[in-house]
Chain A
Amino acid sequence: MSYDKPLPVIDHDSAPYWDAAREGRLDIPLCDDCGQHHFYPRAVCPHCYSDKLKFDTVSGRGTVHTYTVSSRPPGPAFADDVPYVVALIDLEEGPRMMSRIETDDPEAVRIGSEVEVVFVKATDEVTFPHFKLAK
């Protein structure tokens, strides 16, 4: 079955992140100098501008900062998903990331809802970190 939604164009900054996702881990950069995580992965820390960065496996737990329920798809490839929840997730470790919330009931999602990562395989190369409401 072919995957017809947009796929990430993986680059040197992001390759370790996508590699980890494929293996079922959420790995994001951690700065050796200031001790803060960041997302999306960069070659230089956006907090202190250091290049002493390593990828760190994080908990995959977070909370919903805000979200929208998409009732109109941005393209035909997303038409079967409607309605779906796109959210900004505040990871327990600090950074904020965009993702999907996997749910049959978009009405159950709230700002502040606790979520945890789930990995959704798209292709042999790409697995997306999505989130689900924590029990």
Chain B
Amino acid sequence: MKNGREPVIVGLADAPLEGGRFAKNASVLGHCALVANEALKEAGLSMKDVDGLLTAGMWGVPGPGQLPTVTLGEYLGIMPMFVDGTNIGGSAFEAHVAHAAMALREGYCEVALIVYGSDQKSLRSRTLGGRPSVLSMQHETPYGMLTPVGGYAMAARRHMHEYGTTSEHLAEIAVSTRKWAQLNPAATRQDDLSIDDVMNSMMVSDPLHLLDCCLVTDGAGAIVMTTAERAKDLKTMPVSVKGYGECHSHWAVSEMPDLAHLLPAAKAGKRAMEMAGVTHSDIDVTQIYDSFTITVLLSLEALGFCKPGEGGAFVSGQRTAPGGEFALNTSGGGLSALHPGMFGMFLLIEATRQLRGECGARQVKDAETALVHGTGGTLSSGATVILQKGLQA
């Protein structure tokens, strides 16, 4: 079956932040271009090698028909022949890895560049505050639910009702993630955090507290993918893309098929793990989108790391903190490292760094297989990627 076209990640980069803002001055497209260059350079490639371009973001030339890959391709000075502007929320980049993998296998492109940038913190524009009250949203926006946290809060309350999950369980996740952030010099929040701190923080949308919510920061990141054959001549240790899956279910919160169970994550995760031929015990390090603490708990259950309803017990006693049994969100996640609006890019970057062994104090020993799972929208989409160190047989 091997033909040298197996998809691999060979380059990555993320933009340095200071206090959650970009350390350098550039437009949002400029930050995309800077991280793209850096990711290509570490692999020994340059922009002229790129024939596949994938991006998603909140930016765009206003007006009907935003064309993000076209806008960005022009800015970068390239004419890609494989493009993908799939936007399913923060999980878009896990889907992009899947789509690039298929294009690479098919010979439809040779070097795929996946890029993301957001200057929401600098612009002070968290644009999800209220979606325009059109189409399906005319039946939700007028009621004043804080978006997107309100939808996550409704899911959390439903999970508490069905399974007895508590705010303390959710706080365990915020605290363990902060401990990982304290080992990552690039993380935005590194001050000590206790379970009481989380539970005593301001109630934003009951039952979710302020410290159950991700940060609001800037951020830019890039990933370069190519084939196993091409990777042999490049400068970085390749990381193989072994499996992938994606699914989405709803945009309006009322249309979520099951408030306490992530059906898209279950479908995406199952497909990705079957494709990769791995089981849960093979996973050394896990990166799960943490827009809110509840997102992590629901994802752990849906991905099959524990049974439905057992997520609270699974994260109790700081099991997912450094030194715990289950290495989760080792960068400090969206809760404590950075969250520029669509965090899925940074899950992939951290997983790849772990498999390369580049993570210093937070390095998970002998990490060979990683599971990355993104969630987008209001628990709307799920996309899973299984990564393995090196060129795999």
Residues of chain B within 8 A (CB-CB) of A7 are 133, 142
**Chain A residues positioned under 8 Å from B134 (CB to CB):** 9, 11
B229 to chain A, nearest CB (A): 45
Flag if B140 contacts A98 (CB, 8 Å).
Answer: yes
Could you say which residues of chain B place their CB within 8 Å of the CB of A88? 154, 253-254, 259
Is the CB–CB distance between A75 and B143 below 8 Å? no
Contact status B144-A72, CB under 8 Å: no
Chain A's closest residue to B146 (CB) is A74
Let me know if B142 and A6 touch, CB within 8 A: yes
Instruction: Tell me which of B134, B138, B153 has the highest count of chain A C-beta atoms within 10 A of its own C-beta.
Output: B138
| B70 smallest CB distance to A (angstroms) | 28
Does A43 interact with chain B (Cβ within 8 Å)?
no
**Cβ-defined contact, A70 with B142, below 8 A:** no
Query: What 1/0 mask marks residues of chain A from 3 to 47 whose CB sits below 8 Å from any chain B CB?
Result: 001111111001000000000000000000000000110000000
Known contacts A8-B133, A111-B157; is-contact A98 B139 (Cβ 8 Å)? yes
Chain A residue nearest to B205 in the complex (CB):
A68
Shortest Cβ distance from A112 into chain B, in angstroms?
Answer: 8
C-alpha spacing A127/B58, complex, angstroms: 32
Q: Does B158 interact with chain A (Cβ within 8 Å)? A: yes
A74 near B147 (CB under 8 angstroms)?
Answer: yes
Distance of B251 from chain A, by nearest CB (Å)? 11
CA distance A99 to B253 in the complex (A): 11
In the complex, whether B232 has a CB less than 8 A from a CB of chain A is no
Which B residues are CB-close (under 8 A) to A65?
158, 259
Contact of A68 among B130, B132, B139, B206 (CB under 8 A): B206
* Chain A proximity of B154: nearest CB distance (Å): 4
- Chain A residues whose C-beta falls within 8 Å of the C-beta of B253 in the assembled complex: 88, 98
Contact of B155 with A71 in the complex, beta carbons under 8 Å: no
For chain A, residues 84 to 112, give those with C-beta under 8 angstroms from any C-beta of chain B.
84, 86-88, 96-100, 106, 111
Q: How many residues of A contact B (CB 8 A)?
A: 36
Minimum C-beta distance from A57 to chain B (A): 18
Residue among A40, A81, A86 making CB contact with B139, cutoff 8 Å: A40
- B133-173 contact mask (Cβ, 8 Å, vs A): 1 or 0: 11110111111111100100111011001000000000000
Is the pair B143, A71 in contact by a Cβ cutoff of 8 Å?
Answer: no
* Contact status B142-A128, CB under 8 Å: yes
Q: A94 vs B206: C-alpha distance in the bound complex, in angstroms? A: 26
The CA-CA distance from A69 to B153 in the complex, in Å, is 9
B277: chain A residues within 8 A (beta carbon):
none
Cα–Cα, bound, A99→B154 (Å) = 13
Q: Decide yes or no whether B317 CB sits under 8 A from chain A.
A: no
CB < 8 Å neighbour of A66 from B135, B138, B139, B154 = B154
CB distance from B206 to the nearest CB of A (A): 4
Assess whether A78 is interfacial by the CB under 8 Å rule. Answer: yes
A8 and B142 alpha carbons, distance in the complex (Å) = 7
B145 pairs with A86, CB closer than 8 A: yes
State A48–B134 Cα separation when bound (angstroms): 25
Query: How far, in whole Å, are A80 and B139 apart by their CA atoms in the complex?
Result: 21
Assess whether B204 is interfacial by the CB under 8 Å rule.
yes
B202 at the binding interface (Cβ < 8 Å): yes
A55 at the interface (CB under 8 A from B): no
Seen from chain B, the residues whose Cβ lies within 8 Å of a Cβ on chain A are 129-130, 132-136, 138-147, 150, 153-155, 157-158, 161, 202-208, 252-255, 259
Other than the given A66-B154, A68-B157, 17 more pairs (CB < 8 A) read A5-B144, A6-B132, A8-B133, A8-B138, A8-B141, A9-B135, A10-B138, A67-B154, A68-B154, A72-B205, A73-B144, A74-B129, A88-B254, A98-B145, A98-B252, A98-B253, A106-B206
Q: List 24 A-B contacts (CB under 8 A).
A: A5-B142, A6-B130, A9-B135, A11-B134, A39-B254, A67-B157, A68-B145, A68-B153, A68-B206, A68-B207, A69-B203, A69-B206, A73-B146, A74-B129, A84-B144, A86-B150, A88-B254, A88-B259, A97-B139, A98-B140, A98-B254, A100-B143, A100-B144, A111-B161
